[in-house]
């Protein structure tokens, strides 16, 4: 059964003065054990939807020291989540940036004053340009001045996040500082799952707080998700900011980009930023198809000053049953009356239960196996093409289902021409080429027992006329002639 769970956390706002990592991990671990007793599978993946640190208001080196210390605390927390909660490697933890993950000091260095034009038309044009988050011109209402960014310096706002990100994944994943390349794909083919991330803080700086995802990044991501091996997998997309509910909402994201996500069959979207857990669906706004479930996580461990009275700290557990196409989410809330972290479940008004269900695309175990077989066969064909016959054998050895791999196996064994290896890899021949190869190997080694088994096998009996020469030779071996 292809069922698994995801730990969804967000808005950690890590800094030395906040919750210690050990107590957080202990509380989450005990809460997940309780969920397991109630039939919810323990999480295999953790998705962190931004604002990993609190950030710094200092300038220069003081800012860098403070931010790096905060990322060290974050790295320790996420590493422990991978090891203790997931029982997995750090690759099962999916990270993306939020607005607090930019460095204000580095952003400030990117801007310089801009001369105000005399022409009224040019003034109006400059004003409109400054309202575009993807542009590099900004208006400061406090100073009543315009500023322009140096693009080579501007992208360095996420330098320290990139440094943390690249180190966390040991260089196996790289956070690109170019805005049009700020997306990542995390593929778990064995689970039929692909998780894609986007940076909704790509245009946020000291003057602009409007969230924005670069259009080129969305387009390029969706083009890749529409190709193998991702095309036929269950797709989850994640970013930081909540989606805009009305036109005057300037601290949330325009939802128009989600129509591209639906075009490539994204089943679920996750975000944070609003510091409250919520599940919504976008239905028939930009498309004529099934709704896109969108789930927000509350802040896991932000300070009291960053929380509203009605929004407790918390995290989500999301269980996905791909065989039947159903997901369910449980909002886990931290009890505000406790000095130590402790979580309990939120009761949904709609169901009166600890979870709420939603629809996802069905991905059967059969389709996952077919995808894996297709990828394996592509790799075997490549190894045969470059003459790496040992590589073919090694790959087949570690695959539990060898039934569909007999043609590349036979081709590799013919080229290697090792009778002991042939006897190890072929127990019962399924075609004449394998039968002849096996008979030659038995004769070369002189194994009487295997010769007798070969002669009595059903395949050889059915093809005795074609294999008559080898049958005579092998009978001579068994008779001692």
DSSP 5-74: EEEEEB---B-TTS--HHHHHHHHHHHHHHHHHTTPPPEEEEEEES--B------HHHHHHHHHHHHHHH
What per-residue confidence (pLDDT) applies to 177? 95
What per-residue confidence (pLDDT) applies to 148? 72
Alpha helix locations (H) across 245-325? 258-263
What per-residue confidence (pLDDT) applies to 368? 58
Whole-number Å distance between alpha carbons of 96 and 184: 9
What per-residue confidence (pLDDT) applies to 45? 97
Give the global pTM: 0.78
Residues in the chain: 481
Given a contact cutoff of 8 angstroms between Cβ atoms, the answer to whether 46 and 10 are in contact is no
What per-residue confidence (pLDDT) applies to 288? 44
The ranges of the chain with pLDDT < 70 are 1, 142-144, 146, 246-249, 283-290, 309, 337-338, 363-372, 400-401, 481
DSSP 191-221: GTEEEEEE-TBTT--SS----B--HHHHHHH
What per-residue confidence (pLDDT) applies to 284? 46
CA 272 to chain centre: 16
Q: How deeply is 293 buried, as exposed, middle or buried, from its count of CB atoms within 10 A (0-12, 13-18, 19+)?
A: buried
Given a contact cutoff of 8 angstroms between Cβ atoms, the answer to whether 417 and 389 are in contact is no
Tell me 382's DSSP state: H
What per-residue confidence (pLDDT) applies to 246? 55
What per-residue confidence (pLDDT) applies to 234? 92
Cα maximum dimension of the chain: 109
What per-residue confidence (pLDDT) applies to 397? 85
CA 473 to chain centre: 57
Measured CA to CA in angstroms, residue 77 lies from 21, 94, 418, 428, 443 at distances of 6, 13, 51, 52, 61
């Amino acid at each position: 059964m292809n069922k698994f769970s995801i730990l969804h956390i967000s808005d950690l706002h890590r800094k030395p003065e906040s919750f210690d990592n050990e107590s957080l991990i202990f509380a989450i671990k005990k809460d997940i054990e309780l969920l397991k007793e109630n039939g919810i599978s323990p999480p295999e993946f953790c998705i962190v939807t931004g604002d990993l640190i609190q950030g710094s208001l200092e300038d220069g080196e003081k800012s860098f020291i403070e931010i790096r210390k905060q990322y060290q605390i974050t790295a320790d927390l996420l590493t422990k989540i991978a090891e203790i909660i997931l029982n997995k490697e750090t690759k099962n933890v999916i990270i993306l940036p939020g607005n607090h993950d930019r460095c204000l000091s580095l952003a400030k260095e990117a801007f310089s004053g801009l001369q105000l034009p005399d022409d009224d038309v040019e003034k109006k044009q400059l004003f409109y340009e400054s309202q575009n988050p993807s542009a590099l011109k900004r208006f400061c209402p406090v100073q009543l001045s315009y500023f322009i960014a140096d693009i080579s310096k501007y992208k360095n706002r996420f330098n320290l996040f990139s440094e943390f990100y690249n180190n966390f994944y040991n260089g196996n994943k790289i956070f690109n500082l170019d805005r049009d390349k700020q997306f990542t794909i995390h593929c778990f083919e064995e689970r039929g799952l692909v998780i894609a991330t986007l940076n909704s803080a790509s245009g946020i700086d000291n003057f602009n707080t409007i969230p924005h995802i670069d259009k080129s990044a969305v387009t390029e991501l969706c083009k890749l998700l529409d190709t193998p091996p991702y095309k036929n997998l269950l797709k989850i997309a994640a970013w930081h900011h909540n989606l805009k509910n009305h036109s005057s909402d300037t601290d949330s994201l325009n939802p128009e980009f989600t129509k591209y996500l639906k075009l490539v069959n994204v089943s679920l979207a996750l975000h944070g930023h609003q510091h409250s857990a919520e599940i919504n669906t976008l239905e028939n706004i930009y498309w004529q198809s099934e709704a896109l479930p969108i789930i927000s996580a509350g802040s896991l461990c932000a300070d009291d000053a960053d929380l509203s009275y009605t929004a407790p700290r918390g995290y989500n557990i999301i269980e996905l049953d791909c065989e039947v196409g159903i997901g369910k989410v449980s909002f886990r809330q931290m009890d505000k009356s406790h000095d130590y972290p402790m979580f309990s479940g939120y009761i949904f008004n709609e169901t009166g239960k600890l979870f709420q269900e939603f629809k996802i695309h069905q991905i059967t175990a059969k389709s996952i196996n077919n995808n894996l077989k297709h990828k394996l066969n592509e790799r075997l064909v490549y190894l045969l093409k470059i003459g790496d016959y040992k590589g073919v054998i090694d790959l087949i050895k570690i695959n539990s289902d060898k039934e569909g791999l007999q043609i590349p196996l036979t081709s590799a064994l013919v080229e290697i021409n090792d009778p002991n290896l042939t006897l190890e890899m072929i127990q019962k021949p399924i075609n004449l080429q394998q039968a002849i190869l096996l008979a030659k190997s038995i004769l070369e080694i002189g194994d009487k027992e295997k010769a007798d088994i070969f002669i009595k096998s059903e395949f050889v009996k059915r093809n005795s006329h074609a294999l008559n020469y080898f049958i005579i030779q092998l009978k001579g071996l068994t008779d001692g002639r």
